[in-house]
Amino acid sequence: MKDDAKAFAEKAHEGQKRKNSDAPYITHPIRVAERLEQAGCSEELVCAGYLHDVVEDTVYEIEDIEEKFGTTVAELVAAHTEDKSKSWQERKQHTIETIKTAKKEVKYLIVADKLDNLLGLEKDLKEQGDVVWEKFNAGMDKQAWYNRSIAENMYQGLKKSEAPSYFMAYEEAVKRVFPNI
């Protein structure tokens, strides 16, 4: 099923590029899925890692995910899919509220995604400088608020032993990218 999810995501994101680079977009979902797999997550969660941006950023609907990969994968993807009809602030606030109360698998998916995005941003900032912020819907201050809020709330409802090691990596990345904000 993981190979099918990867192939589906590759097809869905074909031609898309990452923000601030010419890298194919699919490199991001692949890294998210790999991080989840390395953390020992379930096959369904790894599949959701590959598919987490498909509904949000392509022509496919959640029903397509459910039909091909089942209810569990579709529910994980749906829990992490933003409603693009809402403002940036509303979407991010919803994700913050979600991470406070979501089941652990949803938390794992959200943090794996946010960590990969933040590591990419950190690399872009080193290579390109502050011009990077011009391609975002919200500037550095709002990005700092969002990422710090995720880091502050991701452990709610989890035992420390349930948090994968990449949660700590995310906290450290937030401190590096937004040290004085």
CB-side exposure of 119: number of CA atoms within 13 Å? 17
What CATH number should be reported for the domain holding residue 89? 1.10.3210.10
Residue 139 has pLDDT above 90, yes or no: no
Catalytic (active site) residue 57 = yes
Rounded CA gap, 129 and 107, in Å?
30
- Candidate list 43, 57, 64, 66, residue with the active-site label: 57
Which residue matches tokens 């991080």?
35
pTM score: 0.95
**How far is the first Cα of the chain from the last one, in angstroms, to the nearest whole number?**
42
Q: Across all residues in the chain, what is the average pLDDT? A: 94
Residue 163 is given by DSSP the state S
**What is the average per-residue pLDDT within 132-138?**
84
Residue range 55-108, pLDDT digits in tens: 999 999 999 999 999 999 999 999 999 998 999 999 999 999 999 999 999 999
* Domains of the chain: total: 1
- Candidate list 10, 37, 56, 152, residue with the active-site label: 56
| Amino acid, single-letter form, for residue 171 | E
Contact (CB, 8 A) for 52 and 109 = yes
Catalytic (active site) residue 56 = yes
Which domain range does residue 95 map to? 2-177
